[in-house]
Structure 1
Amino acid sequence: MDLRPDPDHEAIAEAVDAVCARFDDAYWSDLDQRHEFPWDFYRAMAEGGWVGICIPEAYGGGGQGIAEGAIVLNRVAASGACMNGSTALHLTMFGLNPVVRFGSERLKEAFLPRAAVGDLHVAFGVTEPDAGTDTSRIATRAIDDGHGGFVVSGRKIWTSKALESEVCLLLARTDASPGTFDGLTLFLVDLDPAHCDIAPIPKVGRNAVASCEVAYDELPVEGWRMVGERGQGFRHILHGLNPERILLAAMACGIGEAALRRAVAYAGEREVFGRPIGANQAIAHPLAQAHMQLAAAKAVMRDAAWRYDHDLPCGEQANTAKYLAAEASWFAADQAVQTHGGLGYATEYHVERYWREARLQRLAPVSQEMTCNFIAQNVLGLPRSY
């Protein structure tokens, strides 16, 4: 891995920063409070070509790797947009990776060019109320309709962007019974309101991008909308887990960087007992620790991205990056609130919003405990615990 500064990467960061500078904390706080999708921001990023940066050039995208995608999402989150801004982009930027890797040419030509220009919003439907992390328990069914297509019925939860999205990458059971990973098939389905009931889930943060429960009631799906092979959907999803972990680590670091920036500024200007509070080691040392933790997490994230883009094994690095970034983000955001004292609880200083969004990193899309399970089993060789 070449650790020297990359002029292309620096140019990406500068260009994304320039777009994000047009959307300040007040913009994001207002949308979060009103539960309104950041349309103006999304369009600005789409116009700059950033939504399609990871989509192959053959389909109108930028043809860049995970390293470049991670830079975009990190800078967006670090601007103060946090998860509201980065999630608005992430699902279209990289959510269609299974289609890129396993989809038919017809599927790619129908959807990738539209996604590359930001014209197609994509949701992701895997988690179910009675399955959670145990994907083998998925019960949503895709039944053959006798004419080469399928009819889908079932329920999914935590489907982000379902309200704004036209299509959803949906994992459904075509064969076998719940309790096995076999027989799961991936589809790119239309979120047809005649067959899909979408209800936002009230939640503590990241409210500009809704997370939804979606009930599928005999949704017709044409056969060509299958992604990859029948019964291999779980394996197709697994292929995208490492890059997802990498991008999430980049986003988490960005939240921590935004929180730390505000905390340092406040610590340098707020005076108590005749001097800035940042002169006190009780304030300064935790902020220094937050900086070091974020730097360490970012270094592992970059290593994981480099390995993925060079077709090298990266499961250990990707999962480690996600874990470390989630912890570093949470620590930085919590210290930002603490540095502000009682004002950290006030919305006008924004750190409480960063704090709420940083907490999510330790839960989703996989918990810290499940990440430890992966490392324990696959890196240390310990027995499976579940």
Structure 2
Amino acid sequence: MNPYSEEMNAIREGVQALCAEFGNQYWREIDEAKAFPEKFVNAFTDAGWLAAMIPEEYGGSGLGLAEASVILEEVNRCGGNSGTVHGQMYNMFTLLRHGSEEQKQQYLPKIAAGKLRLQSMAVTEPSAGTDTTKIKTTAVRKGDKYVINGQKVWISRVQHSDLMILLARTTPLNEVKRKADGMSIFIVDIAEAQKNGLTVQPISNMVNHETNELFFDNLEIPAENLIGEEGKGFRYILDGLNAERALIAAECIGDGRWFVEKAASYANERVVFDRPIGKNQGVQFPIAEAHIEIEAADLMRWRACDEYDNGKNAGASANMAKYLAAKASWEAANACLQTHGGFGFACEYDVERKFRETRLYQVAPISTNLILSYVAEHLLGLPRSF
């Protein structure tokens, strides 16, 4: 895999061209209004970028995780927020790898054509957090339907998605041998669900990121909406979560490069005491350090993508890529804000907006502490800490 091949460069140039139509002023106004960037998402969809990973036989481009990561990286590097579209990229893996042929035929061509959006994945719950095996949402088989009851939290883009991947317990925790067993995944028609048992409650937050709390009250969904085998949903969903971590790493790398370029440009232009502030090593060094760390995180991103696209277990690399990139982008954000001084807090410079956006990835979609625990246990052989 060559990150700088003609194909990769063509992808970068294509995304950059589209993003040029949605400049800083557009994203600033969207952020101020706490609105969803519908025009951008529609243009992004119409250009085929969200269908990049769908196989050609279903109407997509048949590209891999590496190419998808470049697409999302460039959105952030251009000053946008790919958090508004990334869900469809990684949610796709669950359906692609574990869905039946009938499910793929039913949904993928419409998703590729932009007629359906698969932007939401409902996993997290208030009382379980990152301990997914403790989820309490249940799915009980009754004839040709499953009845869903429970609650989810921090579920993104529900109000701007047609379909949702849902994880629920089909066998009680006290009846399974392994706590990861007994969970199943379903594909849910959101509009139909809201008519008969799904309530969506928006959560206001510090980032303009559309996220929600969901309540399921005897929601009935067709049994045919079960993806794969009943009880194996946790294993299935890990495929999507590992892809998610690699893609989030790419987004953070895009953010980091935006911060570094923004800081270097301002340091060259801003004159204090009759000299550009970029002449001062106290200004230079944090920017240079941020650049180095972004480049190092990028290498782990490519390793994770290469493993994933070649059918290898990418869990460790994806986790480490996400950790390194999120840390590097946050440090780049701090360097950029410090370089701008007071102007870094002014909305018109966009630094404070991107500063808030990239801070999210220290916490989600998996916290840095959980990644450290994973590495300690699975790579270093240390005792499990929880």
**TM-score interval, smaller chain:** over 0.9
Letter in structure 2 aligned against 1:187: F
- Encode CA deviations 1:254-301: one digit per residue, 9 max, x unaligned: 111112221111111111000111111111110001111101101110
- TM superposition score normalised by structure 1: 0.95
Report the secondary structure of 1:64's partner residue. coil
Who is 1:244 aligned against?
244
Instruction: Give the Cα–Cα distance (whole angstroms) in 2 for the partners of residues 88 and 358 of structure 1.
Output: 13
- TM-score, normalising length: structure 2: 0.95
Unpaired stretches in structure 2, ≥5 consecutive residues? none
Aligned residue type for 1:41: F
Q: Deviations over 1:304-357 (max 9, x none)?
A: 111211223322221111110000000001111111101111111111111111
SS at match of 1:383: coil
Q: Percent identity?
A: 41
* Displacement after TM superposition at 1:225 (Å): 0.4
Q: Does 1:51 align with 2:78?
A: no
Distance apart, 1:188 and its partner CA:
0.4
3-state SS of paired residue (2:235): helix
Q: Secondary structure at the match of 2:51?
A: coil
Other structure's SS at 2:362 match? coil
Q: Which one-letter code corresponds to 1:96 in the other structure? A: M
What is the CA–CA distance in structure 2 between the aligned matches of 1:53 and 1:107, rounded to whole Å? 19
Letter in 2 for 1:21: A
After the TM superposition, list the runs of 4 or more consecutive aligned residues in structure 1 that deviate by more than 4 angstroms: none
Structure 2 Cα separation of the partners of residues 115 and 90 of structure 1: 14
SS in 2 for 1:119: coil
Q: How far apart are 1:168 and its partner, in Å?
A: 1.0
1:153 partner SS: strand
Counterpart amino acid of residue 316 in structure 1: A
Match status 1:317 vs 2:317 = yes
Q: What residue identity is the alignment partner of 1:132?
A: G
Taking the TM superposition and a 5 Å limit, the aligned residue runs for 1:114-263 are 114-122=110-118, 123-145=120-142, 147-177=143-173, 180-191=179-190, 192-194=193-195, 195-205=197-207, 207=208, 209-263=209-263
Q: Is the 8 A contact 1:307 1:314 kept in 2?
A: yes
- Structure-2 separation of matches of 1:232 and 1:310: 23
Mapped contact 2:141–2:223 kept (Cα < 8 A): no
* Residues in 1 aligned to 2:350 and 2:131: alpha-carbon distance in whole angstroms: 36
Which residue pairs with 2:266 in the alignment? 266
Contact 1:57-1:63 within 8 A present in 2 as well: yes
Match of 1:384 in 2: 384
- Mapped contact 1:23–1:41 kept (Cα < 8 A): yes
Q: 1:276 to 1:97 in 2, by over 3 A?
A: same
d(CA) in 1 for partners of 2:140 and 2:4?
52
- Residue correspondence of structure 1 range 3-82 to structure 2 within 5 A: 3=2, 5-82=4-81
Structure 1 gaps of 5+ residues are none
Shift of 1:382: 1.0
Indicate conservation of the 8 Å contact 1:28/1:81, yes or no. yes
**In structure 1, C-alpha distance between the alignment counterparts of 2:88 and 2:311, rounded to whole Å:** 22
Is 1:108 the counterpart of 2:110? The answer is: no
- Supply the distance in 2 between the matched residues of 1:66 and 1:4 (Cα, whole angstroms): 12
Q: Say what the alpha-carbon RMSD is for the aligned residues.
A: 1.4
